[in-house]
């Protein structure tokens, strides 16, 4: 939901730049433009329409109402919830799998949805428990997380998003009986498949009516991603402390998988300091309907649901995206003249390359402009930051033309891109002289 007119554009721009900053720390997030997003924003996560998330919650409420008032493990309302979510995912192009298990004599279901594509050896998982307690319809706990990750998955489909990682979403059964479904899933993963999961993001209660904004204090990269999102919209967060390990991330964490998540509070009481920074009512629980019959579709704070839904998309996009390919054609140049002594010592001219990731390209272009009255006198090398020399030109007593104005293609793929590169020029024959006019590297 858009709270103020420029919010959507601004958040997209801030979000994309904050992600870019993760990948290339030289780009300050404060440089976020307030104008229309640039090409960097193409990689940015979409705004998740909170109205769509609420529409899913309305369906889950109807399902509970039609099935004895709850969506608990072993009850008809649970399976109907699974069917609702599965149909949406199937229609959006996900590959869905229903995993069954038994708990307390009843069949339980985990719904797993894979988005085709991405690197199968790098899986980013996002999950939420879909079951409620028997006392009520469980709309905040945990229709909120279930609906938000469903709408994020649908946004992946709408965007035709092709992340470098493989995306998998999961809706867990029987969390309220002790994380039974998620524990079953982790325990039944082959060791090799477990190793492919690069991260698990958990969302359990993210629309609490008197909300706080809590970030799980687990994997630092995941935690930072959520904090960056909230910093971008200037909402303070706190570390989640209301019972670490009380939701479906616990079995993943125990299996050594990096985890993280968001939480808007359960039955803990909001302090005065928290009400000061987040609004709402101090002295009252974050969710006074926690595990109660009043956890209905009225038990949702739309703003918290909206922000957390957008934060989920931000993290799913940011933690699965291809490393931003460095823009090609970036030029690093030195235009200062350097005299080349006649038949003398080699001289150099440097360029400092910064802000690149990884190695230099196999087609690094070195363009030189050397003024000289007899270019056959000159030996020219490109020196990589580690000192490796690449011969660009040999001397030749028969090459009597003037000047060396040329672009050389160098396979520099074994060299780190960042650092000080040098053009080294030596005049090895007496009489004619000249100078380095300018030179540049094009990455």
- Quick note: the x/- pattern for ligand TRP over 269-308, rule CB under 6 A, is ----------------------------------------
243 touches ligand TRP (CB under 6 A):
yes
**Number of residues located near ligand TRP, criterion CB under 6 A:** 11
Task: Using CB under 6 A, pick the residue from 83, 119, 242, 369 that binds ligand TRP.
Answer: 242
Distances (CA, A) of 67 to 2, 47, 55, 176: 34, 33, 19, 18
Q: Which of 151, 175, 176, 240 is catalytic?
A: 175
Q: What is the DSSP letter of 206?
A: -
Counting Cα atoms < 13 Å in the Cβ hemisphere of 263 gives: 27
Please tell me what DSSP assigns to residue 142: I
- Piece in contact with ligand TRP (CB under 6 A), picked from 37-45, 69-77, 237-245, 335-343: 237-245
Our CB check for ligand TRP shows the closer of 287 and 310 to be 287
Give the whole-angstrom CA distance, residue 152 versus residue 204.
15
Q: Give the nearest distance from C-beta 425 to Ca ion in angstroms.
A: 11
Q: How far is the CB of 324 from ligand TRP (least distance, A)?
A: 32
Question: Which of residues 227, 246, 365, 440 is near ligand TRP by CB under 6 A?
Answer: 246
Q: Is 432 in the site for Ca ion (CB under 5 A)?
A: yes
Kindly state the number of chain residues that form the binding site for Ca ion, as judged by CB under 5 A: 5
Of 84-92, 240-248, 352-360, 395-403, the window that binds ligand TRP (rule: CB under 6 A) is 240-248
Residue 223 is among the residues annotated as catalytic for this protein: no
Among the listed ranges 7-15, 88-96, 338-346, 402-410, the one in contact with Ca ion (CB under 5 A) is 338-346
C-alpha separations of 395 from 124, 216, 366, 427 in Å: 55, 64, 18, 8
Q: Which of 377, 381, 415, 437 binds Ca ion (CB under 5 A)?
A: 377
Residue 130 interacts with ligand TRP (CB under 6 A)?
no
Check residue 247 for interaction with ligand TRP (CB under 6 A): yes
Is residue 240 involved in binding Ca ion (CB under 5 A)? no
Tell me whether strands 389-393 and 378-383 are parallel, antiparallel or unpaired.
antiparallel
- In angstroms, the first-to-last Cα distance of the chain is 41
Q: Is 263 in the site for ligand TRP (CB under 6 A)?
A: yes
Contacts of 191 (CB under 8 A, 6+ apart): none
In sequence order, the 6+-apart residues with CB closer than 8 A to the CB of 192 are none
- Smallest gap from Cβ 378 to Ca ion, in A, equals 8
Measured distance CA(145)–CA(139) in Å, rounded: 9
Q: Is 435 exposed, middle or buried (0-12, 13-18, 19+ CB in 10 A)?
A: middle
Interface residues with Zn ion (CB under 5 A) are 141-142, 204
Rounded Cα–Cα distance for residues 348 and 339 (Å): 10
Helices (H) and strands (E) in the chain, counts: 10, 17
Residue 342's binding partner among Zn ion, ligand TRP, Ca ion, none (Cβ under 5 to 8 angstroms by kind) is Ca ion
**Shortest spacing between CB 35 and Ca ion, in angstroms:** 54
Phi, psi (rounded to 5 degrees) for 218: -125, -110
Q: Which of 47, 114, 131, 141 binds ligand TRP (CB under 6 A)?
A: 141
Question: Which of 47, 114, 131, 204 is in the footprint of ligand TRP by CB under 6 A?
Answer: 204
User: What is the β-pairing status of strands 197-203 and 119-129?
Assistant: parallel
206 part of the interface to ligand TRP, by CB under 6 A? no
Q: For the sheet containing 197-203, what is the strand order?
A: 95-103, 106-115, 165-172, 119-129, 197-203, 259-263, 214-215, 238-239
- Least distance in Å: CB of 212 to Zn ion? 15
Q: In Å, what is the CA distance from 155 to each residue of 22, 47, 312, 348?
A: 23, 9, 11, 53
Task: Tell me how far apart the alpha carbons of residues 36 and 433 are, in angstroms, rounded to a whole number.
Answer: 53
Considering the complex, state which of residue 82 and residue 179 has its C-beta at the smaller distance from ligand TRP. 179
Which span (4-12, 13-21, 181-189, 242-250) binds ligand TRP, by CB under 6 A? 242-250
> Closest distance between ligand TRP and the C-beta of residue 312, in Å?
14
Q: Which of 181, 427, 436, 439 binds Ca ion (CB under 5 A)?
A: 427
Q: Which of 114, 131, 219, 240 binds ligand TRP (CB under 6 A)?
A: 240
Contacted entry of Zn ion, ligand TRP, Ca ion, none for residue 432, CB cut-off 5 to 8 Å set by kind = Ca ion
Q: Is 222 in the site for ligand TRP (CB under 6 A)?
A: no
Tokens matching residue 114: 């894979």
Question: What does the alpha-carbon distance between residue 396 and residue 408 come to, in Å, rounded to a whole number?
Answer: 18
| Bridging pattern class, strands 214-215 and 238-239 | parallel
Residue 175 CB, nearest approach to Zn ion (Å):
6
Query: Which positions lie near Ca ion, rule CB under 5 A?
Result: 342, 377, 427, 429, 432
Residues acting as catalytic residues: 175
């Amino acid at each position: 939901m858009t709270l103020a007119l420029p919010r959507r554009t601004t958040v997209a721009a801030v979000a994309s730049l904050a992600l870019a900053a993760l990948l290339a720390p030289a780009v300050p997030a404060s440089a976020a433009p307030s104008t229309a997003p640039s090409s960097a924003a193409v990689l940015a996560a979409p705004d998740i329409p909170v109205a769509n998330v609420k529409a899913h919650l309305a369906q889950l409420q109807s399902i509970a109402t039609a099935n004895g008032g709850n969506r608990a493990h072993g009850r008809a309302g649970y399976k109907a919830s699974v069917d609702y979510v599965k149909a949406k995912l199937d229609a959006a192009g996900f590959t869905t799998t229903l995993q069954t298990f038994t708990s307390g004599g009843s069949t339980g279901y985990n719904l797993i949805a894979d988005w085709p594509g991405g690197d199968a050896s790098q899986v980013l998982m996002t999950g939420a428990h879909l079951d409620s307690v028997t006392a009520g319809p469980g709309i905040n706990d945990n229709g909120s997380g279930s609906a938000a990750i469903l709408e994020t998955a649908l946004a992946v489909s709408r965007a035709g998003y092709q992340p470098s990682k493989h995306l998998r979403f999961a809706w867990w059964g029987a969390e309220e009986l002790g994380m039974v479904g998620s524990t079953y899933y982790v325990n039944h993963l082959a060791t090799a498949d477990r190793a492919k999961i690069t991260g698990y993001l958990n969302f359990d209660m993210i629309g609490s009516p008197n909300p706080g904004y809590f970030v799980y204090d687990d994997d630092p990269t995941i935690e930072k991603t959520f904090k960056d999102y909230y910093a971008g919209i200037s909402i303070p967060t706190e570390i989640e402390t209301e019972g670490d390990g009380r939701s479906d991330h616990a079995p993943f964490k125990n299996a050594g998988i990096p985890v993280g998540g968001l939480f808007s509070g359960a039955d803990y009481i909001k302090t005065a300091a928290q009400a000061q920074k987040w609004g709402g009512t101090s002295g009252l629980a974050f969710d006074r309907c926690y595990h109660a019959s009043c956890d209905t579709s009225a038990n949702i704070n739309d703003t918290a649901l909206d922000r957390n839904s957008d934060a989920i998309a931000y993290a799913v996009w940011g933690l699965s995206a291809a490393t931003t390919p460095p823009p090609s054609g970036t030029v690093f140049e030195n235009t200062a003249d350097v005299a080349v002594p006649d038949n003398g010592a080699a001289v150099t001219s440097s360029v400092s390359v910064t802000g690149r990731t990884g190695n230099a390209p196999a087609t690094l272009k070195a363009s030189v402009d050397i003024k000289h009255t007899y270019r056959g006198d000159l030996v020219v090398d490109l020196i990589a930051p580690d000192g490796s020399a690449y011969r660009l030109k040999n001397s030749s007593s028969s090459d009597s033309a003037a000047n060396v104005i040329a672009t050389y293609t160098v396979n520099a793929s074994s060299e780190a891109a960042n650092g000080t590169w040098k053009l080294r020029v030596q005049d090895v024959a007496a009489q004619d002289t000249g100078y380095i006019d300018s030179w540049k590297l094009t990455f």
